[in-house]
Amino acid sequence: MSGIEALVLLLMTPLVPLGLALAPPRWRRDGRWQTTAALAALPALVTSALMPAGIAATLPWLLEGSEFGLDVPGRLFLFFSSAIWLAAGLHARTFVPDPERSRFFVFFLFVMSGNLGLIVARDILAFYLFFVLMSFGAYGLIVHGKGRESRRAGRIYMSLVVAGDMLLFAALVLSALEAGGSLLFEAVRESVIDSPWRDTIFALVVLGFGVKLGLIGLHVTLPLIYRAAPIPAAAVLAGAVLSAGLLAWLRFLPFGTPLPGLGALLIPAGIAAAFYGAVVGVLQREARAVLGYSSVSQMGVMTAGVGAAAAAGLHADKIIAAVVLYAMHHAFAKSALFLGLDWASDRPRSRWRRAALGAGLLLPAVALTGAPFTSGMLAKEFLKESLAEAELPAVAVLATLLPWTALATTLIVARFLWLAWPRGCRSPQQRALTAPTRRRAAMLAAPWAALWLLTASAVWLLPIEDPPNLLAAGVLWETFWPLAFGVALAIAAAHLVASRRVPPPPEVPPGDVVVIAERGAQALRRLWIGFAQRALPAARDTVQGAARVARDSSLWPSFTIRVENLLGQWSVSLALFIALAVLLAAAAMWL
């Protein structure tokens, strides 16, 4: 492939959706524009299929000299992200009502452009700009429903996004200064390793991108935005957009050199998120919120994997390959669950159709647990074997806990299936309301079926170097017992609660930590209002009385005239100006 061909394909990846989003308003009302918008991810999918890894194209006149290209992780990220965008776009073409469809697709295309653009960007400035476009554009998808919960989710999301982007901009500036002005990822990673600001840059990168991938403590947006966004938007937010934060870590952090401090931070944080997300997810009452906490748990496993790669040094490459494979498996499975959730919510009349829909939900759900002969089995076993080669105590702990994270995932998946399992309509009126036409049903089924097939087959088709032996008895048992034990626990818990032998578990509101913060802020607001209503009027009257006494005194006019005469002298004004300039210069030098 020539350089010109590679450049055209790479630029078409983000520019096609961006150009469609900037189309004139009168075009957006046309059904042909909406169909084209739904297919806007096709150039990216073609690029991931045709362009070999390792090709890059430089544009020295763009920004500070931008470079676009694909390495092996980038090619995989581009493949599964563009496939999810394409499936979600085709689903949205039918799912979103016509009066709102053009507005939805504008934000959909902006987020798509940012998401696909950051994957092909090879310099930190272009990556950051595409990342910001994706982050801010997602707000329009979250608040598309215009309800109170949508506005609340959008408000919380934007608060964290703005804070995260400020941290990322600081990391970008420090990294560029340490690299001598070069903005290419390779130069930045090499210069950061020996930089005195290394730990600061790592902290800014981890926290800034942690907002996007649901790092523990910053995870509160995931269950909120999954509940608020329309289903096709939630599918891309849970699959392609969530994975962008993981790719950002792989781009910015310098792997290959042992970084035990970074590993000591990310491995415990990831393990905590894996179990915390499962526990809180089981206590949810809505299927979308359960999927949000499932993403917190699954991203926790990947976070711990990134920490293990940072600590492993020379063994990092294989661990990163396993984490990328895990991200691909999770993205396809979670997006398929969201699109299947739309079908299940229609409450079909036919018992056979309900059984087929239930089976369709079952495969990606069970794949998340790592059950035998699913994509999750390959992803988790490949990750475990990659961790074993590092031979580090902290990494060995993560490898030991992986089956237990599968048990936690089984419990949260059981909760999701209990809430989302298709049930029949209770009345003829409901049947008439929910029954889709054949054409609409086919247009909704096709993208879901495509994601279902990709969930079942995509990771098995990848050429993996030294793949795990999945047919070994020990491996089969290791992947079977968490599923069997988790199913038994779920059935026993459901039976005890249904028979009222134990009280039902407490409900944790979606967002957990942010709900506590909101209640605390409301309590402080009530305290302040009470204080202002009781104490401030008396204090105001006291201050006003003192001001009136001072103004009526004969000393006040003489004092003000003396100060005015003093300031009118050039020597005094010049001295004050010089003192102020010295203070400003000292502050600038100190900062």
**DSSP sequence for 278-331:** HHHHHT-SSHHHHHHHHHHHHHHHHHHHHHHHHHHGGGHHHHHHHHHHHHHHHH
Whether residue 261 sits in one domain with residue 250: no
Q: Quick one: DSSP state of residue 458?
A: G
Asked which of 204, 238, 254 is the last residue of a domain, the reply is 254
Q: Which of 212, 137, 138 is nearest to 168 (CA)?
A: 212
* Whether residues 214 and 296 fall in one domain: no
Q: Of 289, 287, 292, 296, nearest to 343 (Cα)?
A: 287
How many domains are contained in the chain? 3
Distance CA 273, CA 266 (A): 10
C-alpha 118 chain-centroid distance: 14
Start-end of H helices in 346-373: 351-369
Looking at residue 423, what is its pLDDT? 67
pLDDT at 347: 60
Does 271 lie in the same domain as 235? Answer: no
DSSP 457: H
Query: Who contacts 266 (Cβ-Cβ below 8 Å, separation ≥6)?
Result: 206, 303, 304, 306, 307, 310
Question: Is 400 within the bounds of a domain?
Answer: yes
Q: Are residues 272 and 247 in the same domain?
A: no
As a residue count, the chain comes to: 591
Is 434 within the bounds of a domain? no
Count helices and strands (H / E) in the chain.
Answer: 26, 2
Residues 263, 241, single domain; the answer is no
Last residue of a domain, one of 254, 272, 293: 254
> What's this model's pTM, rounded to 2 decimal places?
0.86
Domain boundary among 254, 271, 306: 254
222 Cβ partners below 8 Å, 6+ apart? 214, 242, 292, 293, 295, 296
Q: Looking at residue 438, what is its pLDDT?
A: 64
Shared-domain flag, residues 155 and 81: yes
- Beta-ladder partners of 184: 123
Is 144 contained in some domain? Answer: yes
Run of H or E residues at 68: strand 66-69
Assess whether 180 and 199 both reside in one domain: yes
**pLDDT value for 469:** 85
End-to-end CA distance of the chain: 50
Is residue 527 one of the residues assigned to a domain?
no
Bridge partners (DSSP) listed for residue 69: 56
Q: How far apart are CA 361 and CA 298, in angstroms?
A: 18
Residue 515 located in a structural domain: no
Question: Would you give the distance in Å from CA 18 to the centre of its chain?
Answer: 21
Residue 106 · residue 21 · CB < 8 Å: yes
Is residue 73 assigned to a domain? yes
Q: Write out the residue range of the structural domain in which residue 62 sits.
A: 1-254
Residues 32 and 117 in one domain: yes
If asked whether residues 329 and 444 sit together in one domain, one would say yes
Helices (H), 423-512: 428-434, 438-457, 473-498
Low-confidence stretches of the chain (pLDDT < 50) are 427, 429-434, 590-591
Same domain membership, residue 314 and residue 221: no
Q: For position 425, what pLDDT does the model report? A: 54
Q: Which two tokens stand for residue 276?
A: 């915390």
Same domain for 401 and 280 = yes
Q: Is residue 233 part of a domain?
A: yes
Residue 319 lies inside a defined structural domain of this protein: yes
What pLDDT does 433 receive? 42
> 479 and 569, same structural domain?
no
Q: Which helix (H) or strand (E) holds 56?
A: strand 56-59
